[in-house]
Copies of this chain bind each other. A is one copy, B any other.
Amino acid sequence: MTEATPEPAGPPPASPFDVPAYRVGVVDLLGVLAYGELSAFERLAADAALAPTLADKAALADMASAEYHHYERLAGRLVEMGADPYEAMEPFVASIDGFHESTRPADWLEGLIKAYVGDGIGADFYREVSTHLDPDTRDLVLAVCGDTGHAEFAIDRVRAAIAEDPRVAGRLALWGRRLVGEMLSQAQRVAAERDNLANLLVGGITGSPAGEDGYAGLPGFDLAEVGRIFAQLTEAHTRRLQALGLAA
């Protein structure tokens, strides 16, 4: 047997994945997205059971199946990265399940709004996050955040319901506001518990100053950006509620 020689100090890492904290942060990010998609599948399938017509049921089943295929892509990438998808999802089960338990739709319309508004905010958030990621991870995140047909479907059904009985608008507007509050509180809980994920998003992957380990390409967001992103998310949420015919 030949004795292993210590490796010489190499050139600066050519990929952010050479920085261990980046890889761990991406596994966390794909894990939370994957469990989010698997939960979205479950929730849409449960909504399908409440659907008032067979056409609505089939439409919801179609969206649920699309979410499952997003899950498949995320789990597949985790496996490619040498990570166990179930382990990667596990840390996020309690907070995502908690969100769904605290926002159980009382009826079909609340379920539709939750799918549209919730997935809309999630997609906006992950799209912002993706700007700081390596190209492969970014493309995957953008692909799984694509609209699966919720938007048009929900807008159509909710507007029709309000046209039929304008009194439902007040209750549904309240529901829309409650959903955002619950999402933000769960997101804060996740960020507080997952340092690597929080570091991936805010403050960069290498601590400060960025670049000290030779890779400075993914600096994360600074606080001004975080403020701007929250303002954008809120504005987009308001526009979605207006599209539904609801006051934000």
Contact = CB atoms under 8 A, between A and B. Distances in A.
Interface in A37-80: 38, 41-42, 45-46, 48-49, 53-55, 57-58, 61-62, 64-65, 68-69, 71-72, 75
A65 B58 contact: no
Contact of A48 (B42, B69, B75): B42
Contacts of A57: 38, 42
Interface string A64-98: 11001101100100000000011001100100000
Nearest to A68: B65
A76 to B, nearest CB: 12
A76 B83 CA distance: 38
Contacts of A61: 38, 41-42, 68, 71
Interface string A122-165: 00000000000000000000000000000000000000000000
Contacts of A62: 68, 72
Interface of A: 35, 38, 41-42, 45-46, 48-49, 53-55, 57-58, 61-62, 64-65, 68-69, 71-72, 75, 85-86, 89-90, 93
